[in-house]
Amino acid sequence: MGERIPIGSDHAGFELKEKIKARLAEKGFDVDDVGTFSTDSTDYPEYAKKVASLVGAGKTERGILMCGTGLGMSYAANRFSGVRAAVAWTPEIATLARNHNDSNVLVIPARFVAEETALEILDAWLEAEFEGGRHSRRVSKIEIETEEC
């Protein structure tokens, strides 16, 4: 069985989620669809929390989310310690989100990217590696230490 990867969307991302799921299955991933399961109106934080809690707890290495703009999903997912959810609207941004920011959740703005672009974003993000080095220092500074509060 391939790497388990949780994926979630709200109603705005539902149709794209189905396409992304198919691409992930083709690539051999064990896709864990946390919903939503239709285009009926629903609330994005519910799905962001399901995916981000798995990634934040280290139960899966990475996850994928979609909503209309990508913003609501990223706000909700980034509240989980250890989660770095990146909104990517081009393949180049997806690659840099891995290379420089060690993104572990990909967020796609479903209403603002064509399906073909979304699949290119997915492929770019899955294939890119974190470069480490100076970026490790910067990424480590993202987590808020208790004494800073």
Binding site for ligand RB5 (CB under 6 A): 10, 12, 44, 67-69, 71-72
For residue 43, the minimal CB distance to ligand RB5 (Å) is 9
What the block records as the tokens of 65 is 């989310």
Nearer to ligand RB5, 6 or 72 (CB): 72
Nearer to ligand RB5, 10 or 102 (CB): 10
Nearer to ligand RB5, 69 or 78 (CB): 69
Residue 100 appears among annotated catalytic residues: yes
For residue 11, the minimal CB distance to ligand RB5 (Å) is 7
* Sheet with strand 30-33: strands edge to edge: 30-33, 4-9, 63-67, 105-109, 85-87
Q: What is the DSSP letter of 29?
A: -
For residue 52, the minimal CB distance to ligand RB5 (Å) is 15
Catalytic residue from among 11, 67, 135, 149: 67
Nearer to ligand RB5, 35 or 68 (CB): 68
Burial of 49 (0-12, 13-18, 19+ CB in 10 A): middle
- How far does the chain reach from its first CA to its final CA, in angstroms? 43
Residue 67 appears among annotated catalytic residues: yes
For residue 96, the minimal CB distance to ligand RB5 (Å) is 22
The DSSP line for 61-115 is S-EEEEESSSHHHHHHHTTSTT--EEE-SSHHHHHHHHHTT---EEEEETTTS-H
* The residue type at 116: E
Residues known to be catalytic: 67, 100
